[in-house]
Amino acid sequence: MSLAVAFGALLTGIVIWALLARRLTAKPWETSAIPPEQMEVDSTAGPPPAKVGLWAFLAVITSLFGLFISAYWMRMNHVHGVSDWHPIIVPQQLWVNTVLLVLSSAAMQWARWAANHARPDHVRAGMLAGGLFAWAFLAGQLFAWHQLNRSGYLLDNPAVAFFYLLTGVHGLHLLGGLFVWGKTVIAMARPRVELVDLHLSVELCTVYWHYLLLVWLVLFGLLLST
């Protein structure tokens, strides 16, 4: 784990350095002779703060799930005498749920495309479909929990406990996304709403959805392979 972290840190450092090298090697003690109106900062430049905030939040989520996955590996390989880790057969329902989440993400992407091409009807349809597929995914996850519970798996098997934990934490993140989705859908229903006002929300929802799909694919792969 330590080597992986060290490598990750090194890689992150190199990327950050490459991105910022020019700015971080500036000589700030030299007073600028550039008039203020020509200074590098421009009020319309750069991405909107909400977008930067979302990417920072995705970094936090990456850290969270990365650590959950590390804990999963370490606990799985922790053997003290006889191992208490008994691999489980994941419910078949998860395949259906994965398709639902892919559809949800695809619908969101459709809404984003429509927002970029000024097609408000398609935005509404895409957003609604994306949200409904996500709700269906969550319902499917609950059904998978029910199936697992009915199969007689007990929580004292850490593989089972991790199954509930990982799927639960992922589901909670999706619920958070659905809260924002709900606000956007309500805003869309208001009369005289302009697409331009919703464009950013649609885009941020889409990015978040894609990211949660990626997280789910990693988690599902992990659960299937172990």
Residues near other proteins (CB under 8 A): 1-3, 5-6, 9, 12-13, 16, 20, 23-33, 36, 39-50, 52-53, 56-57, 59-60, 63-64, 67-68, 71, 74-75, 78, 80-85, 155-156, 158, 161, 165, 169
Nearer to other proteins (CB atom), residue 113 or residue 164: 164
Rounded to the nearest angstrom, the gap between the alpha carbon of residue 92 and the centroid of all alpha carbons in its chain is: 23
Structure tokens at 162: 């991790």
Question: What is the closest distance, in whole angstroms, from the C-beta atom of residue 174 to other proteins in the complex?
Answer: 17
Question: What is the closest distance, in whole angstroms, from the C-beta atom of residue 106 to other proteins in the complex?
Answer: 28
Question: What is the closest distance, in whole angstroms, from the C-beta atom of residue 166 to other proteins in the complex?
Answer: 11
Half-sphere exposure at residue 210, Cβ-oriented, CA atoms within 13 angstroms: 13
Residue with tokens 């977008």: 51
Nearer to other proteins (CB atom), residue 43 or residue 92: 43
| Residue 37 DSSP symbol | G
Question: What is the closest distance, in whole angstroms, from the C-beta atom of residue 155 to other proteins in the complex?
Answer: 5
Q: Where are the alpha helices (DSSP H) in the chain?
A: 2-24, 49-76, 93-116, 120-150, 158-189, 195-225
Nearer to other proteins (CB atom), residue 50 or residue 193: 50
d(CA 206, CA 181): 10
Nearer to other proteins (CB atom), residue 80 or residue 117: 80
CB neighbours of residue 93 within 10 Å: 17
Question: What is the closest distance, in whole angstroms, from the C-beta atom of residue 191 to other proteins in the complex?
Answer: 21
